[in-house]
Structure 1
Amino acid sequence: MHTRRRGSSDSDKPVADEPPEWSDVDAEAVEERVVELAEQGHSPSEIGLKLRDEGVQGTPVPDVTLATDKKITEILEEHDAEPDLPEDLRNLMERAVGLREHMDENPNDHQNKRALQNTESKIRRLVDYYRGDELDTDFTYSYDTAKELL
């Protein structure tokens, strides 16, 4: 969006209707592990990586959706363990806070100033998207609110 690049073509996941034979983990065990990892403070993408690498009871879970017929965020919503901010918005806010702190120390870093403007623009666009559903209707982004939420 804010770069000169034209985007990147990603490879698609292989089409699969059921989990692989070597990963025969019970769906309830996967859901319990997802909620447990969320309570430890992990984001949905980190939960997916941990399930892929560590698995449940030693058995890796390559795809939570195939194993449980639900996405990680759906599982978290069912168990009232979803994060207070959407993950993409939280990541952008963390980046903006870091850039703002860098700007305070280095006021002549014009490249960083532009990066901060672009990041805050993306945040405002995402806030408009999430407002009402996952955010309060009167939520507006500012550096102070981001610092407070993080």
Structure 2
Amino acid sequence: MKKPTSILLPFLFFLQLSIAQSEIGKEKLKEFRKSPKWKEMMNDPNANFNETNVAFKEFWKGKPNPLELMEGEEEALEELEERSFISRLFKSNKTLKKELLQHAEDFKKFNFWRIKSEGFVKSDGSVMTRDEIQEMVRQELQSRQKNEKIIPQ
């Protein structure tokens, strides 16, 4: 039997993402699909974490994972082949693959940034600054030291 947390965590992430998407306008979502705004947002300390995640997901929606393309995985190559005739008319599979591979390094960076930042997201979606993180750590250390003094050994 699965633990409730293993079921609940993906649901909460999906819920958070869907709420963030509903707060973002349709024009912004179209902009996210067309260009990799998530690259700029990831490097902006004032960018909203949830909005950056939405920008990343929207950009990659319907596109194969560039890391899988690099490795020549069949699923990613099949996704390129399954594109409609009209989309291939505007951009050939070869051109699209080349374009996606240019984003592969940033794709990796984003996934690392997301994992690194997840624990430091405030309720408003902003990511804590280094000073805020250091202050939180300092307070936690002080609290632990107080608890050690109270508990006799």
TM-score by length of 2: 0.29
TM-score by length of 1: 0.29
Q: Which has the higher helix share?
A: 2
Highest relative contact order (Cα 8 Å, sep 6+), 1 or 2? Answer: 2
Rg larger for: 2
